[in-house]
Amino acid sequence: IITFFVPRVVCLAVLFFFCRYLFSLQMKRDLMDGRLVCTENTGALLASHLVQSEIGDYDDVADRDFLRINKLLPYQEKVQERIMELHRRHLGQTPAESDFQILEIARKLEMYGVRFHPAADREGTKINLAVAHMGLQVFQGHTKINTFNWSKIRKLSFKRKRFLIKLHPEVHGPHQDTLEFMMASRDQCKIFWKICVEYHSFFRLFDQPQPKSKAILFTRGSSFRYSGRTQKQLVEYVKENGAKRTPYQRLIERLAFVFPSSTDSVVDSPQLSPFASKGPLCLSPSFQMSTLSLPGQAPSPLQSPILSEVGSTARLEEEEEGRRKRYPTDKAYFIAKEILTTERTYLKDLEVITVWFRSAVIKENAMPEGLMTLLFSNIDPIYEFHRGFLKELDQRLALWEGRSNAHVKGDYQRIGDVMLKNMCALKEFTNYLQKHDEVLTELEKASKRLKKLETVYKEFELQKVCYLPLNTFLLKPIQRLMHYKLILERLCKHYSPAHRDHDDCKEALKEVAEIATQLQSSLIRLENFQKLTELQRDLIGIENLTAPGREFIREGCLYKLTKKGLQQRMFFLFSDMLLYTSKGVTATNQFKVHGQLPLHGMIVEESENEWSVPHCFTIYSAQRTIVVAASSKVEMGKWIEDLNMAIDMSKKSQEKSSIFLDAGLGDRSSDEVSLEQESEDDMNSSRTSLDKQTHHRANTTMHVCWHRNTSVSMSDHSLAVENQLSGYLLRKFKNSNGWQKLWVVFTNFCLFFYKTHQDDFPLASLPLLGYTVSTPEESDSIHKEYVFKLQFKSHVYFFRAESEYTFERWMEVIKSAASTTGRMSLLIPKGGPMEINGN
């Protein structure tokens, strides 16, 4: 039996896996006995984790047989189908991970660890008393009506059948200082009093209470004293001495069965493995957000891109070392694992559309039936295919690692056969992928035409689960093909021609390259359209930004010379015009357009000597001349290069840029806008933009470029698409001692941090533009392998990978993001300084 129900599951990290296992068994018993009161949905979720812990991955026949034999809930028959649906989500989850999830969910319930002791108050009303880590609780039925914190209680005592609580004077005031409850017998009263003493000592005291010397002749009161360590002593002891872990492994014999033949329900399963992805998402979004979401708001990604260190002890270093040593060391294994981890993230991205967005539009009846059919009939089949593909990948990696089905013999240390089979199957979805152009266009048109859909669209982008602009997720299926191509190229390069997996990988590469070639032009067009629509929502004062033929080229921060000196402005270069904006003080954090210059007839010249301003150049257009300065010579070179390229392109274009400028800034286009007028316009725009409920994330490239004085081109965006990565990393702050395990996703120049890969939304994000990435220096005192260091000014983070290959991959993709702010332009002479931070 469990004595103390700890308020945070991370406290169990200092104990044995066996202890956590016992806690989960206690939750199982409480569920069945009806002591752990919860909703049917939560009960089904807990039961699904118990089933995963008992029999492993979902199998329809095995699940039904197990639930027929074993009773987990009083109302099990009523929710059996829901239990099975939820169990399907836990693919690859090990028993230890299931135990942890059970405790994470249970601890958030009001009745977690509550043991009722029947009593009556002075008026004779029947109540229930309970003790918890924070103090005493009073229930009427299952409703909590009062809580007395330990800090409010002066003394606990009992006299025959009466249980007495004496309060501090500042608590009771002029009223009674003693609360009295009547229990059924003296023995029951004494038992409850002992439990209170133990809970108070364990959770409230710093040190173990010292026994009092006994009187020789007379004694008064009970001699009972709590004799164990307190929670604080236990935690400090483990920190100082380390946990001496008795080897414990839950057996795997019964995990491998598919059709159970006995009535055994003992929980035994294999050793730890990495978290695996969810299967189908069967919980409604509203339920899952309220039941499983972590409390608190994620910190601002620009000002404080830091996760709390609470819970950093949940994954101790010795566990990670042991787990790392159990992995195969073949590079091919880690390449295959990259396919698995990125597939998990890709499937979660698809669920943003197929589950969460669908739920939002259905709830509000906001989308026309024709558009609903067009959208979901094209993405649902792709989602279903990748669910099956993910399961195959996870099963193959499990065999490769040797963490399940150990009795199976065969050639499973390869991935080419799985890839070949599924890349061939992907050909059937080419027609669906080719329609994504139409889907994106129609969705954009409808959101402009239908106010209700526009509102739902914008409100959905406010949700944490939509961590990128919504239409970005519609590009993921085609982008994923490019990822498969790059990873298979890496595998083929690694294998020798004689390797047994080489031919399958080569054939799989051939298949996916054929599909990718067909869709390459479509992807380029879609990425440009997506960027234009994103900017259309973020900019005030410009319409029809998605006009046919317009291409996005570069966005970034420059300093514009005005009557009041250099003023920070955000510039946007397109194939036909150059926009410059300022960041207004608006509720929606949008940028207001102050000027637009057609590229037709434009001339760009360096003018550092003329104005005595570093990294300065002049832009001459038909309407006006402006002088701007970049933050570095590299930045200036990139802007001049792209401007000249765009000017040359516009000369060759048959369509004149003037046809796009009919929705501009009126007569202001012919006059220079002074600083005073711009500031006044900003104040006016703030009032009008308050009505717009557009959500603007601080981690979009526009806002990051503004804060970090840098720029990003469309070619940088395309490169970032190729360099998406996800997986578990250990993270450490500059001044902290411990490492925290996090699921990390790199996409859109940004790191997104999750507690586990199963979470639906990130806890925090870290935009990487402007960061430098390197290996730790000797002064950093990092004595671990595979560690890389991220730094921007005084912000320093260390991340630790599990292998040399994984370390190199993270370095590669992060450098690709950081280098967009520091790569040498073709106009800069070789050997010049490389300025990464742009300051």
| Predicted pLDDT at 29 | 84
| Predicted pLDDT at 180 | 86
- Give the contacts of 328 (CB within 8 A, at least 6 positions apart): 400, 401, 413
| Predicted pLDDT at 31 | 82
539-540 vs 591-598, strand pairing mode? parallel
Task: Provide the 10 A C-beta neighbour count for residue 504.
Answer: 22
Sign of the four-CA dihedral 350, 352, 357, 360: positive
Instruction: Tell which wins on pLDDT, 420 or 198.
Output: 420
Q: Name the band, by pLDDT with cuts 50, 70 and 90, for residue 542.
A: confident
Using CA atoms, how far apart are residues 30 and 42, in angstroms rounded to an integer? 14
Q: Give residue-wise pLDDT tens across range 118-159.
A: 998 887 888 888 888 778 888 887 777 888 887 788 888 888
Task: Tell me which of 104-113, 478-487, 534-543 is least confident.
Answer: 104-113
Indicate if the pLDDT at residue 807 is higher than 90.
Answer: yes
Using CA atoms, how far apart are residues 602 and 813, in angstroms rounded to an integer? 36
Indicate if the pLDDT at residue 834 is higher than 80.
Answer: no
Share of the chain above pLDDT 70, in %: 72
Q: Name the band, by pLDDT with cuts 50, 70 and 90, for residue 706.
A: confident
Task: Tell me which of 441-450, 753-762, 820-829 is least confident.
Answer: 820-829
Tell me the two tokens of residue 344. 């998990």
Quick check: 198 and 225 in contact, CB under 8 A?
Answer: no
Highest mean pLDDT range out of 254-263, 482-491, 777-786? 482-491
Query: Please, what is the average pLDDT of the chain?
Result: 76
Residue closest to 379 by CA, chosen among 443, 317, 332, 336: 443
Is 9 exposed, middle or buried, given 0-12, 13-18 or 19+ CB atoms closer than 10 A? buried
Task: Provide the 10 A C-beta neighbour count for residue 440.
Answer: 19
Report the greatest alpha carbon distance in the chain.
Answer: 111
Indicate if the pLDDT at residue 259 is higher than 60.
Answer: no
Mean pLDDT on 750-762 = 92
Task: Tell me which of 35-44, 235-244, 383-392, 518-527 is least confident.
Answer: 235-244
Tell me the two tokens of residue 408. 């199976």
Indicate if the pLDDT at residue 590 is higher than 60.
Answer: yes
| Predicted pLDDT at 316 | 42
| Predicted pLDDT at 197 | 84
Q: Give residue-wise pLDDT tens across range 643-668.
A: 999 998 888 775 544 444 444 433 33
Mean pLDDT on 313-337 = 62
Indicate if the pLDDT at residue 235 is higher than 80.
Answer: no
Q: Name the band, by pLDDT with cuts 50, 70 and 90, for residue 820.
A: low
User: What is the four-CA torsion angle of 666, 667, 671, 677, rounded to 10 degrees?
Assistant: -70
Indicate if the pLDDT at residue 824 is higher than 60.
Answer: no
Mean pLDDT on 335-341 = 95
Indicate if the pLDDT at residue 747 is higher than 80.
Answer: yes
Using CA atoms, how far apart are residues 558 and 330, in angstroms rounded to an integer? 48
Indicate if the pLDDT at residue 829 is higher than 80.
Answer: no
Tell me the two tokens of residue 475. 């590009």
| Predicted pLDDT at 380 | 93
Residue closest to 704 by CA, chosen among 586, 557, 588: 557
Instruction: Tell which wins on pLDDT, 46 or 211.
Output: 46
| Predicted pLDDT at 676 | 31
Task: List residues bridging with 118 in a β-sheet.
Answer: 128
Residue closest to 711 by CA, chosen among 606, 559, 815: 559
Q: Give residue-wise pLDDT tens across range 632-645.
A: 999 999 999 999 99
| Predicted pLDDT at 109 | 79
Domains annotated for the chain, with CATH where assigned, are: 1-113 (1.20.80.10), 117-211+226-239 (2.30.29.30), 312-533 (1.20.900.10), 541-696 (2.30.29.30), 715-821 (2.30.29.30)
Quick check: 398 and 376 in contact, CB under 8 A?
Answer: no
| Predicted pLDDT at 780 | 87
Tell me the two tokens of residue 407. 């009795």
565-574 vs 552-562, strand pairing mode? antiparallel
Indicate if the pLDDT at residue 741 is higher than 70.
Answer: yes
Mean pLDDT on 179-207 = 83
| Predicted pLDDT at 788 | 94
| Predicted pLDDT at 307 | 39
Q: Name the band, by pLDDT with cuts 50, 70 and 90, for residue 486.
A: very high
Quick check: 201 and 209 in contact, CB under 8 A?
Answer: yes
Share of the chain above pLDDT 90, in %: 34
Mean pLDDT on 317-331 = 56
| Predicted pLDDT at 163 | 87
Q: Name the band, by pLDDT with cuts 50, 70 and 90, for residue 229.
A: low
Q: Give residue-wise pLDDT tens across range 344-356.
A: 999 999 999 999 9
Q: Name the band, by pLDDT with cuts 50, 70 and 90, for residue 7.
A: low
Quick check: 4 and 114 in contact, CB under 8 A?
Answer: no
Mean pLDDT on 373-380 = 93
Q: Give residue-wise pLDDT tens across range 547-572.
A: 888 999 999 999 998 888 889 999 99
Indicate if the pLDDT at residue 444 is higher than 80.
Answer: yes
Indicate if the pLDDT at residue 614 is higher than 80.
Answer: yes
Indicate if the pLDDT at residue 101 is higher than 50.
Answer: yes
Using CA atoms, how far apart are residues 80 and 47, in angstroms rounded to an integer? 9
